[in-house]
Amino acid sequence: MQRLIQLVYNYASNAREQYLLLKLYRNALRTEVTNRVDQIRQINTGNPLFIKLVVNQYRDETGSTYVRQVLNGFMKDFLARGSMDLDSDPLNVYQRWLNQQEAETGKASTLSRTATAEEAMQHEPVRKGVDAAATTLIELSSVLRDAIVANLKDLPYGLRYICKALQEDLKAKFPEDGDEVIIKALGVVLYYRYFNPIIVTPERFLDDDKGVPVRIFAYTLGLA
């Protein structure tokens, strides 16, 4: 269907075709929300057809340029930090701590190698390691969030328009749900469906030489 729509609208190659394609997406989205979405959480957990088509359209059209713009400053800051331990899994931190003890003492540790996460967190070095990694991850996530927000004006217009339309349609169909629930659904569309695939698999959307720093970021965070 995506290939057919692109062909009919001449791959949105001029302003008129872009406008008509956006009108199609807008009307289709309203129909899909009205007839197929029974709960807002379906936007988050399901895969609504025309939301998928819209995201693909505007990610493929201008996605790589926009994402590079958003991530450029963030990636420079991230890589300048050098080596960072971002593993917040208590069991992994626990195993590394045991290995370090054994390397320093030259003796096998008397602690269990099959401890649970709860048991691992009872040890202060493990708690400190987990807290330090979590703090760094929160800090980096905040920097990335701020970079996205600072560049929202350059987000492809079609995607911004469809997000606004989706907000209107969800409010109209689910007036009893609060703004927070609707905003969460929009966040899923913008970050999880639009940004996340580029960060996780940059080779699909970015030229190889320009995608390498993003790929380093993805692998470092365990996203790829």
pLDDT band of residue 65 (cuts 50, 70, 90) is confident
Whole-angstrom Cα Rg for the chain: 22
Say which residues have a Cβ less than 8 Å from residue 43's Cβ, sequence separation at least 6.
37, 51, 166, 170, 185, 188, 189
Give the model's pLDDT for residue 214: 53
Cα 9 from Cα 51, distance rounded (Å): 18
Within 10 Å of residue 33's Cβ, how many Cβ atoms?
A: 23
pLDDT tens sequence across 122-166: 999 999 999 999 999 898 888 888 888 888 888 888 889 999 999
Q: Which structural domains are found in the chain, ordered by start? A: 2-220 (1.10.506.10)
Q: Considering only 30-34, 177-181, 189-193, 211-215, which range has the smallest mean pLDDT?
A: 211-215
Return mean pLDDT, the chain.
84
Q: What integer pLDDT is reported at residue 148 of this predicted model?
A: 85
pLDDT of residue 195: 83
What is the token pair recorded at 142?
Answer: 């905040």
Q: Report CA-CA distances (Å) from 105 to 31, 99, 101, 111, 179.
A: 68, 10, 6, 14, 57
Q: What is the mean pLDDT of residues 24-48?
A: 88
pLDDT of amino acid 140: 86
User: Which of 11-15, 76-80, 113-117 shows the lowest mean pLDDT across its residues?
Assistant: 76-80
Average pLDDT over residues 29-37: 90
At residue 123, φ and ψ (nearest 5 deg) are -95, 130
Question: Residue 64: pLDDT above 70?
Answer: no
**What integer pLDDT is reported at residue 82 of this predicted model?**
80
Per-residue confidence at 224, pLDDT binned at 50, 70, 90? very low
pLDDT of res. 16: 93
> Are the beta carbons of 87 and 137 closer than 8 angstroms?
no
